[in-house]
Amino acid sequence: MTETAPFFSDADLAGDFYTRRFQPGPSENTLILNMGPQHPSTHGVLRIVLEVDGEYIVRAEPVLGYLHRMHERMAEEKTYLQYLPNMGRVDYLHALAWNWAFVGAVERLAGIEVPERAEYIRVITTELNRVASHLVWWGAYLLDLGAFTPILYAFEDREWILDLLQTPTGARLTYSYFRPGGVAADIDKEFLKGAKDFAVHMRDRLKMYKDLVTDNIIFRKRLEGIGPISLDMCRRYGATGPVVRGSGLAYDVRRAEPYSVYDRFEFEIPTTGSGDAMGRYRVRMEELEQSLRIIEQAVDSIPEGEIRVKGAPKVKWKAPAGEAYFAVEGGRGKIGVHLVSDGSNRPYRCKLRAPGFSNMSLFGEIARGILLADAVAILGSLDLVIPEMDR
Amino acid sequence: MDLGELDARKGFFKETLAGLWSLVVGLKVTGKYFFRPQITVHYPRRTVDNIPSFRGPIELISREEDPAKPKCGACSMCVSACPSGCFTVTKKRPPAPTPEEIAEQKEKEARGEKVKKKAAPKEPERFLYDYSLCSLCGTCVEACPSGALRFSASPYRAAFDRKELVFDLLADLAERAREDRNPPGTGKTTE
Ligand code: SF4
Ligand code: SF4
């Protein structure tokens, strides 16, 4: 089976490297199908080569790299401060978590203290951003499953957050707001009030979301028991975030390796043991509630003070030689930045650990033997952000 | 009909009813929405009201005493700070010496004294900014030692050609001064 299958050569549709390498299986009745790179349910340019037997998937292989922008390489070409805008563009939905992962790594590398107020600001804005990220996931996931209305409701609520975050950050999506040693701009009373009002408003909406979608019988039938992921599989692939929590392990970086001031807030780590798409869905919906709790607590207890430490890195700043790793909990799982410095003003190496990549890797295994229509439900439940996977 | 079949039928009816009920619940939610006022904004006829907090393209801040002159000291700090190389800044050349000055210099030279050349004024001759490369990160604003840069609040700078997005910030400043819409300090210009 090393020759190209006649189907391709006869029709002169030899395909590209990936389709040729993806050899047809032992059965003659299967069809090789490309899902993506332009496909409405892959949200960006993810391509999955599928071998289907009728409606059933025999094999699936994700093909990545369409959005590879060499972020890691770019880090080696730019100074530490110049690299910050890149972080807003790795995962556009939860940009602040990536901001945080990078400045956190720089701070750990250089031993920079962060003022307490800045830490609180980071918590509040990152949690708001997490809610926004989950809302986009929620809307888009239901859109994949054929429900059009929810995304409009989700975007209505997300608009609140974007308007709020626009004031201190100046942007609506690709934030570049955190700085080593603090944040770029202070937040005012109005912002804090807005954040609190939003939490109240969002609670109300979550009830509506539950009535409209979570309790809907068609929706539940579509998700329950679909795409079960065992804990063992999560371990093998390094899945984190709502995926591993949906499989029953309460692993959350905010609790497992507490950073910043997260240890001062009360919040739970929602888990479900079912491991199916519905479990992951429930975990994320519960996480929205937990994020709101954190926001409320942080708004109530935010101290006054500096937002940026004196002597924070400036343009010509050089990092001390050494290595540092910093991990934060992003909307999709554990985000890690590993910096190696040789003492110059640019990182010698910068490794970005994207949770989406690990979460997506297990798709090939769970897709075996499922219906094509369920593949969409599973992909959506993994909450993939393609630019993050490709980096 | 045995009991098992009866149970199955009961289950079927129950499920159907539950399904119909969730349909009603969903319709109630969307139905309520139908009678609510519209929340979207019809763009060209109306705009949103939080544009001032948006970070638009970079612009120069003028001096207090002269709204047409930038605070910029042409130190090129922003040029080296910007991750994308958006700026091209050239310093003004020293002014050409007048004939009297030349004569004076020559005299001094003849006497073997040191000749001091005129220092270049700390002002930019040219200040170009390529908006098509800018990621609006704010590194330049923070890096500028004279506090001469800020974000404007004009989100409508679209163009058909990349070249149209290279702005001459000095000309832009002069124009703003002429039209008298040049808020001092960090206040932003809106379109
Ligand atoms: S905002 Fe950032 S990318 Fe834009 S000109 Fe300033 S430093 Fe360069
Ligand atoms: S704008 Fe600021 S940083 Fe840039 S050249 Fe002028 S004074 Fe220097």
pLDDT in tens, B125-159: 888 888 888 888 888 888 888 888 888 877 777 88
Question: Average of pLDDT values for A287-315?
Answer: 86
Question: Average of pLDDT values for A228-233?
Answer: 87
Q: Does B19 touch chain A (CB under 8 A)?
A: yes
d(CA A179, CA A186): 12
Is the pLDDT at B65 greater than 80? The verdict is no
Question: Average of pLDDT values for B30-50?
Answer: 83
Instruction: Give Cα B164 distance to the centre of its chain.
Output: 16
d(CA B12, CA A391): 49
Sketch out chain A's domains with CATH numbers.
71-359 (1.10.645.10)
Q: Which residue of A has its CA nearest to B15?
A: A217
From the CA of B145, the nearest ligand is: 2
pLDDT in tens, A310-355: 877 887 888 888 899 999 998 888 999 999 988 888 889 889 988 9
Is the pLDDT at A238 greater than 60? The verdict is yes
Is the pLDDT at B56 greater than 50? The verdict is yes
d(CA A217, CA A249): 27
Share of chain A above pLDDT 70, in %: 93
Distance from CA of A372 to the nearest CA of B (A): 24
Is the pLDDT at B179 greater than 50? The verdict is yes
A380 within 8 A of A140, measured Cβ to Cβ: yes
**What are the pocket residues of ligand 1 if the criterion is a CB atom closer than 6 Å to any ligand atom?**
B 58, 81-84, 86, 134-140
pLDDT bracket for residue B185 (50, 70, 90): low
pLDDT bracket for residue A368 (50, 70, 90): confident
pLDDT bracket for residue A92 (50, 70, 90): confident
For residue B143, give the ligand 2 atom closest to its CA. 3
Question: Average of pLDDT values for A81-94?
Answer: 87
A115 within 8 A of A307, measured Cβ to Cβ: yes
d(CA A149, CA A138): 11
Is the pLDDT at B100 greater than 70? The verdict is yes
Distance from CA of B76 to the nearest CA of A (A): 12
Share of chain A above pLDDT 90, in %: 11
pLDDT bracket for residue A131 (50, 70, 90): very high
For residue B78, give the ligand 1 atom closest to its CA. 7
Is the pLDDT at A113 greater than 50? The verdict is yes
Three-class SS of residue B53?
helix
pLDDT at res. A15: 63
Share of chain B above pLDDT 70, in %: 90
> Among B136, B152, B165, which is best to mutate for testing ligand 1, by the most ligand atoms less than 8 A from CB?
B136
Is the pLDDT at B187 greater than 60? The verdict is no
Q: Which CA distances in Å does A179 have to A59, A175, B165?
A: 45, 11, 28
pLDDT bracket for residue B184 (50, 70, 90): low
pLDDT at res. A9: 46
Is the pLDDT at B188 greater than 60? The verdict is no
Strand-pair partners of B70: B62
Distance from CA of A338 to the nearest CA of B (A): 21
ipTM beyond cut 0.85: no
Sketch out chain B's domains with CATH numbers.
51-92+121-178 (3.30.70.3270)
d(CA A51, CA A72): 33
Question: For residue A37, is the peptide bond before it cis, meaning its omega torsion is within 30 degrees of 0?
Answer: yes
pLDDT at res. A23: 65
pLDDT in tens, A142-195: 888 888 888 888 998 998 899 888 888 888 888 888 988 888 888 888 888 988
pLDDT bracket for residue B1 (50, 70, 90): low
Question: Average of pLDDT values for A115-140?
Answer: 91
